[in-house]
């Protein structure tokens, strides 16, 4: 089951369970669509790509709670782009 992390790792934007802007990589690193575009679609943590995060239906939230852990690790875009655009 996905964690459904609450915010973008780069800009800390709120990404609730029903957000249409949440993107995740294979390790569930979570970023908003805007930051994914800045990152050129490459996860700064694993180098993988991103997919749209599924929406957890409201009626399942009590039984399958979403994560409250905030992972906030702003990306140095210059370093990221040099690393993954070579």
Domain ranges of the chain: 22-84
**pTM of the predicted protein model:** 0.93
Helical segments of 3-71, H only: 33-38
Low-confidence ranges of the chain (pLDDT < 50): none
How do strand 51-52 and strand 30-32 relate by DSSP bridges? Answer: unpaired
Task: Give the pLDDT confidence score for residue 84 in this predicted structure.
Answer: 81
What is the reported pLDDT for 44? 96
How many CB atoms are closer than 10 A to CB 9?
A: 22
The whole-number pLDDT of residue 85 equals 74
Q: Of all helices (H) and strands (E), which one includes residue 24?
A: strand 22-24
Residues 6+ apart with CB under 8 A from 46: 25, 26, 27, 29
Do residues 49 and 39 touch, judged by C-beta distance below 8 A? no
Check residue 86 and give its pLDDT: 59
Question: What whole-number distance in Å separates Cα of residue 13 and Cα of residue 74?
Answer: 11
Phi, psi of 31, rounded to the nearest 5 degrees: -140, 155
pLDDT of residue 80: 96
* pLDDT at position 35: 98
């Amino acid at each position: 089951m996905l964690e459904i992390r609450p915010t973008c790792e780069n800009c800390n934007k709120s990404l609730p369970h029903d957000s249409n802007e949440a993107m995740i990589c294979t390790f569930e690193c979570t970023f908003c669509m805007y930051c994914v575009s800045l990152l050129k679609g490459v996860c700064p943590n694993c180098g993988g790509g991103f997919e749209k995060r599924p929406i957890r239906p409201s009626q399942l939230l009590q039984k399958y709670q979403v994560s409250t852990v905030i992972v906030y690790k702003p990306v140095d875009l210059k370093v990221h782009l040099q690393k993954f655009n070579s």
